[in-house]
Amino acid sequence: MRAVAVIPARLASTRLPRKMLREIAGQPLIGRVYEAVRSSPLLHDVIIATDSDEIVAVCQRHGWKTQLTSAVHRCGTERVHEVSQSVVADVYLNVQGDEPLTRPEHIAALLELMQDPEVQVGTLKTPEAAADIDNPSAVKVVTDSAGRALYFSRATIPYDRDGARPDYFKHLGFYAYRKPALDRFVALPESPLERNERLEQLRFLENGIAIHVTETSYDTVGVDTEEDLRRVADILRSGS
């Protein structure tokens, strides 16, 4: 299976300005992510997809493969689709540009899920830490008995009405798609739930496109704030 990973990277960010180029443990964040993804032996190629000439210049200086993409894309999946128009693969992985703790195990789990030719879209979940259960920045996912996503939300789902202490799962920012799923996604308008939650994966669910979810024991820290930057830097220094 020919798999290509795409790392969408915008320079504009509301919560953490210019975060892709913020230094973390002596290296720009986007470089940390790129090298983490490149550590997987299962990928044919890794491409940073950006609308920023500045990010392209930084990538070129460091030898990180990059492609300049349109500035009109509203989300990372649309940026991945643009890359898929010129780069041939059986499966395209979307690794968010703010996931510096990406591991080869994340890539392997996604690609194992995509071994089933019926799976058009795949993603990852991990058991949620207690501190993240009520945190709207930590997206939750609930699945059916076959492992397909029922819903993703920033809200705490499922709601524990009777104090039963259900298992909570955090959604991680990793996706895998086949080309037809990408083509369909970009042909659809932004969906109401996608717009309300600011979660692009809901466009698939609202239009009847199943997202298959597999579990990993390896949590990550998505970088959205200064606190996240410090936390990841501490983790990288400690080697944990």
Please, which pLDDT band fits residue 240 given cuts at 50, 70 and 90? low
CA separation, residue 7 to residues 51, 206, 207, 230 (Å): 12, 25, 25, 22
Chain-centroid distance of CA 177 in Å reads 12
Whole-prediction pTM? 0.94
How many residues are given for the chain?
A: 240
Q: Tens digits of per-residue pLDDT, 35-84?
A: 999 999 999 999 999 999 999 999 999 999 999 999 999 899 999 999 99
Q: Exposure pattern of 45-59 as b/e (b: 16+ CB <10 Å)?
A: ebbbbbbbeebbebb
Q: Tens digits of per-residue pLDDT, 116-170?
A: 999 999 999 999 999 999 999 899 999 999 999 999 999 999 999 999 999 999 9
Cα–Cα distance measured from residue 191 to residue 196, given in angstroms and rounded to the nearest whole number = 9
CB 227, CB 234: distance < 8 Å: no
Half-sphere exposure of 24 (CA within 13 A, CB side): 31
Helix, strand or coil, per DSSP, at residue 95: strand
Helix, strand or coil, per DSSP, at residue 185: helix
Q: What does the pLDDT average to over 219-236?
A: 89
Q: Pick the residue with more confidence: 63 or 11?
A: 63
Q: What does the pLDDT average to over 208-216?
A: 98
